[in-house]
């Protein structure tokens, strides 16, 4: 009797994908941004959708995420479907970024090569040699080029690459926005286009992953959309993705529909229910005071919903380094919880990282010279300042609101002595007038005016240290 060893069947790996660390049944693909992949738990799962809201009308960070999403799909030989007019979609794709050679990628990551001679290293204390350097984001060296490319914002995708992808069917423009049909809405025509493309792929038995990109959802090209139209569209798109396990979608919302002011109270929460993942890129250009507090960041990242296919708990909670929830669970809940996340756009990359104070920021910084915003105020001016602030804000100002040192100057006034004149006891002399207290005070003042004047000492002033930058931040 012969025995045959059981060997696990090796399934074919789809291009640009890998198994999810949270579940083997889930396949993930990269968004083109390693730090965003970390926030999602390793990447965007297939059969899931990601919605990016960017409420700032003066920036285009949401569109930048979509362009990276398309560039990553073309670089890893996946099919890409872009919603928009035919010519507009082609022009939009031609404006996407591209990557360089491997040598320049290593330079792009900012990681210097280790010196060949160990003696050239800087000598530090032995107890600090094994400590890790302070990092605010995840590195891209651990990610293979087949899964995630490192794109350069200063480099555009070659024109021949776009033409080749268009001719081979790798790039599919969905030009239903150009059609003028009064019978059905724009959202219905877009959904019909998705169904048609997916039916053609199923007839050809294509296993290549398909990326659906919808930039500027809700713009003027979509017509006058209502809140229920957007929710219905996202709900139907989610249903289409769940029926096709090799398809994923990324959507960027227009700025005017990215806030609760447009859809009513709880609008962003409703959007999170209709999609698998929803994040908001809240740029600091809306609030200039935050730009001065965090000059090295361009905005904050708010996470509303994260994809969790085949699991009850999102893989991001366990495997995301930037969010820090895994470290909180390891420490037994003794840490501060989830990290505050921010993003910045450098000359060549869009980076998501943990929010932190700069080296030169904060009131706790040790200074050798007085700060520029430190002044000396007398007590009267200080109290007037506090009263004006409390009247403007209509809120009580506590004593701890202004760090001050109050010095009370006590001046003791001695009573003036009465000057008694000699009274004669001669019976023939007229009766002498006894000086009153007012006469004695007037004569004393006259004598003091003739005496040399002594310059009175000025009372000590109060030193108040004020700073416009608080040391702690609560988001």
Q: How confident is the model at residue 184 (pLDDT cuts 50, 70, 90)?
A: confident
Per residue in 357-409, pLDDT tens? Answer: 665 544 444 444 455 544 444 444 444 444 544 444 454 545 444 444 444 44
Mean pLDDT of the chain: 76
CA dihedral 429, 433, 439, 440 (to 10 degrees): 70
pLDDT on residue 1: 52
Concatenated DSSP letters of 67-108: HHHHHHHHHTT-EEEEES-HHHHHHHHHTSEEE--HHHHHHH
pLDDT reading at 82 higher than 80: yes
Write out the two tokens for 377: 């105020």
Length of the chain: 475
Whether 227 has a pLDDT exceeding 50, the answer reads: yes
Dist CA 217 CA 191 (whole Å):
13
Delimit the CATH 3.40.50.300 region(s) of the chain. 17-109+133-354
Place of tokens 């929710």: 231
Cβ distance 49 to 279 under 8 Å?
A: no
**Positive or negative: CA dihedral 297, 299, 305, 307:** negative
Residues 6+ apart with CB under 8 A from 463: 376, 377, 404, 405
Indicate the pTM of the whole model.
0.69
pLDDT number for residue 176: 80
What local confidence, expressed as pLDDT, does residue 86 receive? 81
User: Class assignment of domain 17-109+133-354?
Assistant: alpha beta
Residue environment code for 197-233, b if the CB has 16+ CB neighbours within 10 A, otherwise e: bbeebeeeeeeebbbbbbbbbbbeebeebeeebbbbb
How sure is the predictor about 271, in pLDDT bands with cuts at 50, 70 and 90? Answer: very high
**How high is the pLDDT of residue 180?**
65
Confidence grade of residue 295 (pLDDT, cut at 50, 70, 90): confident
| Residue 320, pLDDT above cutoff 80 | yes
Place of tokens 């049909």: 181
Decide if pLDDT at 270 tops 80. Answer: yes
For residues 466 and 452, what is the distance between their CA atoms, to the nearest angstrom?
A: 42
pLDDT of 214: 96
pLDDT in tens, 46-63: 999 999 999 999 989 999
Which stretch of 165-174, 263-272, 429-438, 454-463 has the lowest confidence by average pLDDT? 429-438
Q: What is the pLDDT of residue 63?
A: 95
* DSSP assignment of 111-149: PPPPPSSGGGSPP--GGGTTSPPP-SS--STTS-TTT--
Residue 111 has pLDDT above 80, yes or no: no
Q: Give the percent of the chain with pLDDT over 90.
A: 46
CB atoms closer than 10 angstroms to residue 311? 17
Has residue 439 got a pLDDT over 60?
Answer: yes
Residue 133 confidence class, pLDDT cut points 50, 70, 90: low
- Token pair, residue 189, equals 């025509």
In which residue are the tokens 């960027």 written? 252
Neighbours of 183 (CB within 10 A): 6
Smallest CA-to-CA distance from 66 within 215, 177, 172, 175 is with 215
Q: How far is CA 262 from CA 255, 259, 307, in A?
A: 10, 6, 25
38 SS3 class: helix
């Amino acid at each position: 009797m012969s025995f045959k060893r059981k060997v696990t069947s090796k399934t074919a790996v789809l291009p640009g994908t890998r198994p999810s660390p949270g579940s083997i049944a889930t396949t993930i693909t990269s968004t083109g941004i390693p730090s965003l992949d970390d926030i999602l738990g390793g990447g965007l799962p297939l059969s899931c959708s990601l919605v990016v809201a960017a409420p700032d009308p003066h920036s285009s960070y949401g569109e930048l995420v979509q362009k990276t999403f398309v560039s990553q799909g073309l670089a890893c030989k996946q099919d890409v479907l872009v919603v928009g007019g035919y010519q507009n979609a082609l022009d939009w794709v031609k404006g996407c970024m591209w990557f360089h050679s491997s040598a320049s990628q290593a330079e792009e990551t900012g990681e210097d090569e280790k010196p060949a001679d160990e003696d050239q290293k800087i000598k530090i204390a032995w107890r600090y040699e094994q400590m890790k350097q302070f990092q605010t984001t995840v590195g891209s060296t651990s990610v293979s080029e087949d899964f995630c490319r490192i794109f350069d914002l200063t480099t555009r995708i070659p024109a021949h690459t776009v033409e080749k992808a268009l001719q081979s069917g790798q790039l599919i423009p969905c030009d239903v926005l150009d059609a003028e049909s009064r019978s059905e809405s724009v959202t219905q025509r877009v959904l019909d286009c998705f169904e048609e493309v997916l039916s053609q792929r199923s007839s050809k038995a294509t296993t290549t992953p398909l990326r659906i990109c919808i930039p500027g959802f809700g713009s003027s090209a979509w017509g006058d959309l209502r809140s229920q139209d957007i929710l219905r569209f996202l709900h139907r798109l989610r249903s289409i993705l769940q029926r096709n396990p090799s398809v994923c979608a990324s959507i960027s919302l227009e700025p005017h529909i990215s806030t609760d002011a447009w859809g009513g109270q709880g609008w962003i929460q409703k959007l999170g229910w209709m999609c698998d993942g929803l994040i908001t890129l809240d740029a600091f250009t809306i609030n200039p005071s935050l730009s001065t507090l965090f000059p090295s960041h361009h905005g904050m990242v708010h996470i509303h919903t994260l994809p969790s296919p085949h699991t009850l708990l999102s893989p991001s909670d366990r495997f995301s380094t930037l969010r820090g929830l895994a470290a909180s669970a390891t420490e037994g809940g003794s840490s501060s919880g989830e990290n505050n996340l921010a993003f910045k756009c450098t000359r060549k990359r869009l980076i998501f990282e943990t929010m932190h104070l700069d080296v030169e920021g904060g009131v706790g910084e040790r200074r050798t010279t007085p700060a520029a915003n430190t002044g000396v105020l007398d007590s009267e001016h200080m109290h007037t300042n506090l009263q004006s602030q409390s009247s403007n804000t209509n809120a009580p100002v506590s004593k701890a609101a202004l760090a001050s040192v109050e010095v009370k100057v006590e001046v003791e006034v001695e009573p003036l002595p009465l000057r008694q004149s000699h009274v004669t006891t001669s019976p023939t002399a007229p009766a002498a007038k006894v000086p009153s207290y007012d006469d004695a005070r007037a004569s004393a003042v006259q004598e003091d005016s003739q005496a040399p004047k002594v310059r009175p000492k000025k009372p000590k002033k109060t030193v108040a240290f004020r700073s416009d930058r608080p040391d702690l931040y609560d988001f």
